[in-house]
Amino acid sequence: MIPSAFEYLAPTSLSEATAFLAAHPEDAKLLAGGHSLIPLMKLRLATPKYLVDLQHIPGLKGIRETDGVVEIGALTTHYEVLSSSVVRERLPVLAETAEVIGDVQVRNRGTIGGSLAHADPAADYPATILALDAEIVAVGTGGERTIKATDFFVDLLTTALKPDEIITRVRIPVPAPGTGASYQKFPHPASRYAIVGVAAVVRLNPDGTCAAAAIGITGAGSKAVRARAAESGLVGSRLDDAALQRAGAAAAEAVDPVGDIHASAEYRRHLVREFTVRALRAAAERARSR
């Protein structure tokens, strides 16, 4: 299908873009990479009157590390994330996540900020962003504010962003020594979206017991979530198979799975349990090797 008629705008500053969004909160859509919005427009599931292209605004791309925090510009593509030496060295699980997003075309055009703002319940980044305790920085007509990842994903395709706000960058603290992480997913065979995806971050004490754990889950319900009970149950354990199985069972109880043509709710809950165990096992192995 062909999208309905729209007016194209190419602002050259954040102030120009946010002012336009504030003036047209119901009629304008932001264009980053376009891999989420354009298909919706072609199906006429989205019919914006105005399309606001962010590509001409300076300062929204790039990756840098400052004072133990990696900052990623909102318009940084998935390929740039997975190929960045800073990300691969300091946040390898984020590179691992970006590498399994979509296909080559999607990875070279889609952006981290666009993916997070779209908040697709089956997207890959949200699980890892949650597990890494990231922060999303946004700018609106009222100024800049920082939103914790745990507060960012509100519901299906819904975030904590205000109508006039634009994501400018993502801030992720570099994990402490003794930390390992892994992202594991069961992908849809065509779209490569996650039927279920789990990101696990584990930090070990010198004696090998678990000092801290974080588990982010995507694909199972209407939004990505943290499995808090599963995380707390791991602290102090040696992350043996019994501990991992208990965590998997607790993670499965942390989700409110949906059933659709791709997987039943019961099957998704099973996948959460299984892939939580897999992600934790890989994360623990990497933590031990460090």
Q: Is the pTM of this model over 0.85?
A: yes
Quick one: 67 and 167 in the same domain? Answer: yes
Q: What is the DSSP letter of 54?
A: -
Model confidence pLDDT, tens digit, residues 133-149: 999 999 999 999 999 99
Residue 47 maps to which CATH number? Answer: 3.30.43.10
Could you tell me if 14 and 57 are in contact, meaning their C-beta atoms sit under 8 angstroms apart? yes
Quick one: 240 and 279 in the same domain? Answer: yes
5 contact partners, CB below 8 Å, separation of at least 6: none
Residue 126 maps to which CATH number? Answer: 3.30.465.10
**Residue 36: predicted pLDDT:** 87
Quick one: 150 and 228 in the same domain? Answer: no
Model confidence pLDDT, tens digit, residues 227-248: 999 999 999 999 999 999 999 9
On the 0-12 / 13-18 / 19+ scale of CB atoms within 10 A, 173 is middle
Model confidence pLDDT, tens digit, residues 199-208: 999 999 999 9
What's the CA gap between 268 and 256, in Å, rounded? 10
Quick one: 183 and 285 in the same domain? Answer: yes
| 209 has pLDDT over 90 | yes
| 1 has pLDDT over 80 | no
Between the alpha carbon of residue 94 and those of residues 124, 125, 159, 196, the distances in Å are 10, 8, 21, 17
Band of residue 290 on the pLDDT scale cut at 50, 70, 90: confident
DSSP calls for 146-172: EEEHHHHEEETTEES--TT-EEEEEEE
Among residues of the chain, what percentage have pLDDT more than 70? 100
Pairing relationship of beta strands 166-173 and 135-140 according to DSSP bridges = antiparallel
Quick one: 84 and 30 in the same domain? Answer: no
Model confidence pLDDT, tens digit, residues 148-159: 999 999 999 999
Model confidence pLDDT, tens digit, residues 27-82: 999 999 998 899 999 999 899 999 999 999 999 999 999 999 999 999 999 999 99
What's the CA gap between 187 and 31, in Å, rounded? 26
Residue 26 placed within a domain: yes
Among the three residues 149, 173, 197, which one is the final residue of a domain in this structure? 173
Whole-number mean pLDDT of the chain?
Answer: 97
Residue 156 placed within a domain: yes
| pLDDT: which is higher, 45 or 282 | 282
Model confidence pLDDT, tens digit, residues 9-33: 999 999 999 999 999 999 999 999 9
Could you tell me if 277 and 252 are in contact, meaning their C-beta atoms sit under 8 angstroms apart? no
Q: Is 255 helix (H, G, I), strand (E, B) or coil?
A: coil
Model confidence pLDDT, tens digit, residues 261-281: 999 999 999 999 999 999 999
**Residue 131: predicted pLDDT:** 98
Residue 276 maps to which CATH number? Answer: 3.30.390.50
Quick one: 72 and 147 in the same domain? Answer: yes
Among the three residues 142, 173, 204, which one is the final residue of a domain in this structure? 173
Among the three residues 123, 139, 173, which one is the final residue of a domain in this structure? 173
Residue 209 placed within a domain: yes
> In 3-state terms, the chain is what percent helix, strand and coil (to 5)?
35, 25, 35
Q: Is 178 helix (H, G, I), strand (E, B) or coil?
A: coil
Q: Which helix (H) or strand (E) holds 55?
A: none
Residue 2 placed within a domain: no
Could you tell me if 113 and 74 are in contact, meaning their C-beta atoms sit under 8 angstroms apart? yes
Mean pLDDT of 169-174: 98
**Residue 35: predicted pLDDT:** 81
Which residue in the block uniquely carries the two structure tokens 């908040």? 119
What's the CA gap between 179 and 170, in Å, rounded? 21
**Residue 46: predicted pLDDT:** 92
Domain span holding position 35 = 7-53
Model confidence pLDDT, tens digit, residues 91-140: 999 999 999 999 999 999 999 999 999 999 999 999 999 999 999 999 99
Task: Provide the number of structural domains found in the chain.
Answer: 3
Quick one: 254 and 229 in the same domain? Answer: yes
Quick one: 79 and 113 in the same domain? Answer: yes
Residue 58 placed within a domain: no
Quick one: 255 and 271 in the same domain? Answer: yes
Q: Is 200 helix (H, G, I), strand (E, B) or coil?
A: strand
Quick one: 190 and 167 in the same domain? Answer: no
Residue 46 placed within a domain: yes
For 260, the token pair is 């659709």
Quick one: 84 and 112 in the same domain? Answer: yes
Could you tell me if 278 and 169 are in contact, meaning their C-beta atoms sit under 8 angstroms apart? no
Q: Is 45 helix (H, G, I), strand (E, B) or coil?
A: coil
Quick one: 163 and 206 in the same domain? Answer: no
Could you tell me if 218 and 121 are in contact, meaning their C-beta atoms sit under 8 angstroms apart? yes
On the 0-12 / 13-18 / 19+ scale of CB atoms within 10 A, 19 is middle
Residue 18 placed within a domain: yes
Residue 1 placed within a domain: no
**Residue 222: predicted pLDDT:** 97
Among residues of the chain, what percentage have pLDDT more than 90? 97
Pairing relationship of beta strands 225-226 and 166-173 according to DSSP bridges = unpaired
